[in-house]
């Protein structure tokens, strides 16, 4: 609006010829509370006038950033000020890796407010064709005599998997969601780019006979982790949940187990922390086999403690520890599971796939349907009864009988 004097009102800024077009500015309040000019540029007076009006509207709504950070600078701020203080340590490790290795090298120098859907789409497409051994100099970091591929001019074509590409896009999307919330940008361009979904490998879970064979072999060898395998196979506990169990969480009198902690490896640290959500925390009834296995484990640990003497250091009173009382590495438990499976003459399956065997094993162990319903977390007893209707055969009874014999009767 132009006043009677022909001048613009205070704070309305002005439009003037600039280089090959026009420019204008508006006085705005920055996020830090200071006042500053914000400029707009364009080829024609009309174009600049429209931008100038938009700037005005923006300035009325609240603080306006006059300098826009690069994608790299914003991601650093997001990781340090948003992710680290508010999310789980493992989330920080995952996001930080995606930013450092896959996002910043390609998009870091772009201005945050000028990042387009096309930029993100081209980045996603390019990322799956960039050898990460070359990009990260993995071969170059080896001793000269051990270099065998990228550092000696023979690219090993170590391209990121679909899962890695998806994780990188998801990290960028999470960061841009925060940029939208802070009103640094108006829309999240990463959420508009589709990425090919990673294909899931379908792995046939162990049958009850296979699970029993595994446990029978472990019991016969007096395996220190026998009780861990029982809890994994009978209660469907996750790796971190089993390793995070403390003796306080086991109630031998009532035959219950309280699951509320987990052990996680986050970067260079091993953490004993609460489970992800309160829904995960639960009192689970312990079938006779689990109770007996935990009693055996307690006796083993007392023996370990005596043998270790002053070297013993079980600060969290964990159920499953090394022979010196320290927490077991989650990765080591996975490796030990694969090793034990091979030793028992069984096909290897991932540790997390054991959850599928849990329901049929409970049936074979003659665990009461009401107890099984609580362990399997079925909302309806009908779901549990369906599982019960499927499993009862001679082979299964024989396998469970063997396990019972090795443990000296599990009743």
Tens digits of residue pLDDT in 202-260: 778 888 888 888 999 998 888 899 999 999 888 888 888 889 888 998 999 888 888 87
pTM: 0.63
CB 27 within 8 A of CB 11: yes
Q: Residue 110 corresponds to which tokens in the numbers above?
A: 């772009």
Mean pLDDT of 87-102: 89
* Distance separating alpha carbons of residues 235 and 204, to the nearest angstrom: 19
- Mean per-residue pLDDT of the chain: 83
pLDDT value at 168 more than 90: yes
pLDDT value at 362 more than 80: no
CB 13 within 8 A of CB 52: yes
pLDDT value at 330 more than 90: no
pLDDT reported for residue 165: 93
228-259 burial code (b ≥16 CB/10 A, e <16): bbbbbbbbbbbbbbbbbbeeebbeeeeebbeb
Measure CA of the first residue to CA of the last residue in the chain; give whole Å.
90
pLDDT reported for residue 344: 92
Rounded to the nearest 10 degrees, what angle do helices 71-78 and 162-181 cross at? Answer: 90
pLDDT value at 388 more than 60: no
Angle at 362 (CA atoms; ends 360, 367), nearest 5 degrees: 140
The one-character DSSP state at 146 is G
More confident residue, 240 or 63: 240
Task: For residue 399, name the pLDDT band (cuts at 50, 70, 90).
Answer: low
pLDDT reported for residue 387: 57
Which among 31, 58, 23 has a CA at the least distance from the CA of 13?
23
Task: For residue 62, name the pLDDT band (cuts at 50, 70, 90).
Answer: confident
* Distance separating alpha carbons of residues 216 and 403, to the nearest angstrom: 5
* Distance separating alpha carbons of residues 89 and 92, to the nearest angstrom: 5
* Sign of the four-CA dihedral 343, 347, 351, 357: negative
Task: For residue 132, name the pLDDT band (cuts at 50, 70, 90).
Answer: very high
pLDDT reported for residue 370: 73
Q: Is 205 exposed, middle or buried (0-12, 13-18, 19+ CB in 10 A)?
A: middle
pLDDT value at 101 more than 90: yes
Q: Decide: helix, strand or coil at residue 301.
A: helix
**What percent of the chain lies above the pLDDT cut of 90?**
29
**What residues contact 337, with CB distance under 8 A and at least 6 apart?**
229, 351
pLDDT reported for residue 361: 78
Which among 308, 275, 340 has a CA at the least distance from the CA of 90?
275
Integer CA distances (angstroms), 54 to 49, 57, 118, 316, in order: 9, 5, 24, 59
Mean pLDDT of 364-387: 69
**What percent of the chain lies above the pLDDT cut of 70?**
85
pLDDT reported for residue 5: 44
Mean pLDDT of 130-149: 90
């Amino acid at each position: 609006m132009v006043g009677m004097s022909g001048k613009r009102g205070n704070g309305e800024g002005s439009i003037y010829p600039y280089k090959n077009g026009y420019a204008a500015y508006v006085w705005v309040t920055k996020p830090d509370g200071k006042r500053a000019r914000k400029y707009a540029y364009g080829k024609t007076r009309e174009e600049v006038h429209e931008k100038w009006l938009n700037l005005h509207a923006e300035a009325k709504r609240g603080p306006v950033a006059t300098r826009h950070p690069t994608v790299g600078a914003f991601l650093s701020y997001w990781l340090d000020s948003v992710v680290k203080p508010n999310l789980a340590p493992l989330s920080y490790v995952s996001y930080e890796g995606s930013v450092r290795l896959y996002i910043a090298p390609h998009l870091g120098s772009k201005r945050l407010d000028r990042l387009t859907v096309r930029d993100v789409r081209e980045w996603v497409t390019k990322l799956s064709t960039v050898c990460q051994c070359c990009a990260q100099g993995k071969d170059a970091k080896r001793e000269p005599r051990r270099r065998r591929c990228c550092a000696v001019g023979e690219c090993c074509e170590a391209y990121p998997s679909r899962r890695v590409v998806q994780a990188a896009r998801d990290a960028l999307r999470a960061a841009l969601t925060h940029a939208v919330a802070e009103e640094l940008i108006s829309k999240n361009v990463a959420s508009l780019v589709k990425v090919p979904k990673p294909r899931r490998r379908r792995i046939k879970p162990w049958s009850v006979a296979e699970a029993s064979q595994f446990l029978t072999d472990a019991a016969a060898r007096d395996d220190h982790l026998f009780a861990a395998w029982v809890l994994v196979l009978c209660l469907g506990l996750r790796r971190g949940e089993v390793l995070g169990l403390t003796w306080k969480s086991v109630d031998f009198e009532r035959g219950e187990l309280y699951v509320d902690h987990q052990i996680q490896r986050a970067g260079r640290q091993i953490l004993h922390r609460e489970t992800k959500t309160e829904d995960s925390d639960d009192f689970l009834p312990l079938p006779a086999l689990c109770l007996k296995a935990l009693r055996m484990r307690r006796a083993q640990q007392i023996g370990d403690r005596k043998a270790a003497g002053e070297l013993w250091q079980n600060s969290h009173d964990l159920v499953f520890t090394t022979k010196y009382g320290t927490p077991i590495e989650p990765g080591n438990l996975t490796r030990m599971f694969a090793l034990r499976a091979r030793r028992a003459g069984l096909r290897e399956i991932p540790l997390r796939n054991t959850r599928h065997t849990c329901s049929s094993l409970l049936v074979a162990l003659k665990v009461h349907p009401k107890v099984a319903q609580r362990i399997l977390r079925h909302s309806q007893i009908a779901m549990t009864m369906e599982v019960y209707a499927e499993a009862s055969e001679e082979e299964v009874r024989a396998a469970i009988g063997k396990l019972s014999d090795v443990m000296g009767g599990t009743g």
